[in-house]
Amino acid sequence: MRPQLLGSDPACMAENAARLAELAPAGIDLNFGCPAKTVNRHRGGAVLLDEPELIHAIVAAVRRAVPAHIDVSAKMRLGYDDDARLLDCAHAIDSAGASELAVHARTKAHGYRPPAYWESVAQVRQQVRLPVIANGEIWSVADAARCREVTGCDALMLGRGMVRRPGLARAIRQAGAGAVEPTTSYSDAAVAALPWRRVVPLLADFWADVCTRVERRHRAGRLKQWLNYLRVAYPEAQQAFDALRAVNDPDAISAWVRRVQALAAQATQVPVTEDVI
């Protein structure tokens, strides 16, 4: 697990990173990419991309506060309103001692609107010493292949594509190993890598987590939100979305989850508790 921090005060960021390091995480990530208005208004996330000197100070302070064996990574966008300071920010992160850098190939102003500007990620990769991870608009195995070709990056970060098709990472890996047939559509490859009967345990785990973290009145909306993504690839998710569209009682949804789990367990010999990601 790699927890993520965001903020604009180098001392506070370093103090929190040091406390996180006591929990022995796989690494600590610094967020310079979040486009949310509330986050940016409080000087966190992408708004700092207009201040590469401050970004350098934050990364350097965290790096000093964290033992050398714990990686300190960062994620950034191409910029805030534009990409004029893209390379300045990338160099700031690199020279401050970060272990790796993930680049979302859009500015804050772009939001999540396509396209992703992978060519700009290639510029960053050519200009810095640390490993660069490409992120943005990777929805399929074909997108992953094109992104790697354009950016020159071996490593990719998946976001909404994995929410829509939880098997996408596995499908990309299988394609790299030659396990995906040329006649198989890339969308089908992702679904085949993780069929619906194996998505169901993930839904159950997600719902259990929602029930422990989210206010009762908001819980149903969280599950429906994920089903809304999943129904692009899974007909079963469309059926589930339709069945739960008017249901807001968490107890009723819990009962539905138990029924769907039981049906999925009957449909396969694979234990529902197996790690499938």
Phi, psi of 31 (to 5 degrees): -95, 110
Specify whether 13 is located in the same domain as 130.
yes
- Asked whether residue 185 is assigned to any structural domain, the reply reads no
Q: Closest Cα to residue 133, out of 92, 174, 93, 105?
A: 105
Residue that has been written with the tokens 């966190």 in this structure: 44
The pLDDT, as a whole number, for residue 179 is 65
> Is 34 a residue of the active site?
yes
Instruction: Classify each residue of 166-200 as buried b or exposed e, where b means 16 or more C-beta atoms within 10 Å of its C-beta.
Output: bbbbbbbebbeeeebeeeeebbebbbbbbbbbbbb
- Asked whether residue 176 is assigned to any structural domain, the reply reads no
- Asked whether residue 181 is assigned to any structural domain, the reply reads no
- Asked whether residue 103 is assigned to any structural domain, the reply reads yes
Specify whether 240 is located in the same domain as 110.
no
Specify whether 9 is located in the same domain as 107.
yes
Specify whether 42 is located in the same domain as 135.
yes
Of 12, 34, 147, 153, catalytic? 34
- Asked whether residue 187 is assigned to any structural domain, the reply reads no
132-135 vs 4-5, strand pairing mode: unpaired
Specify whether 20 is located in the same domain as 152.
yes
Query: Would you write out the chain's pLDDT as a tens digit for each of its 277 residues?
Result: 899 999 999 999 999 999 999 999 999 999 999 999 999 999 999 999 999 999 999 999 999 999 999 999 999 999 999 999 999 999 999 999 999 999 999 999 999 999 999 999 999 999 999 999 999 999 999 999 999 999 999 999 999 999 999 999 999 999 887 666 555 566 678 887 899 999 999 999 999 999 999 999 999 999 999 999 999 999 999 999 999 999 999 999 999 999 999 998 887 654 444 443 3
Q: What is the CATH number of the domain that holds 213?
A: 1.20.225.30
Q: Measure the CA–CA gap between 32 and 7, rounded to whole angstroms.
A: 9
Specify whether 205 is located in the same domain as 76.
no
In this structure, what is the dihedral angle of CA atoms 121, 1, 220, 222, given to the nearest 10 degrees?
-10
Q: Measure the CA–CA gap between 117 and 101, rounded to whole angstroms.
A: 16
- Asked whether residue 208 is assigned to any structural domain, the reply reads yes
Q: What is the DSSP letter of 42?
A: T
- Asked whether residue 190 is assigned to any structural domain, the reply reads no
Specify whether 238 is located in the same domain as 150.
no
Are the C-beta atoms of 214 and 225 separated by less than 8 Å? no
The CB density around residue 152, as the number of other CB atoms within 10 Å, is 14
Specify whether 26 is located in the same domain as 111.
yes
Q: What is the CATH number of the domain that holds 27?
A: 3.20.20.70
The pLDDT, as a whole number, for residue 178 is 65
Specify whether 132 is located in the same domain as 59.
yes
The pLDDT, as a whole number, for residue 275 is 40
Specify whether 131 is located in the same domain as 200.
no
Question: Sign of the C-alpha dihedral, residues 237, 241, 242, 247?
Answer: positive
- Asked whether residue 162 is assigned to any structural domain, the reply reads no
Specify whether 262 is located in the same domain as 128.
no
The pLDDT, as a whole number, for residue 268 is 63
How many domains does the chain contain in total? 2
Domain that holds residue 205: 196-266
Type of residue found at 268: T
Q: Which of 131, 157, 183 is the last residue of a domain?
A: 157
The pLDDT, as a whole number, for residue 192 is 79
Specify whether 114 is located in the same domain as 25.
yes
Q: Which of 157, 187, 215 is the last residue of a domain?
A: 157
Gyration radius (Cα) of the chain, Å:
20
Q: Which of 103, 130, 157 is the last residue of a domain?
A: 157
The pLDDT, as a whole number, for residue 186 is 63
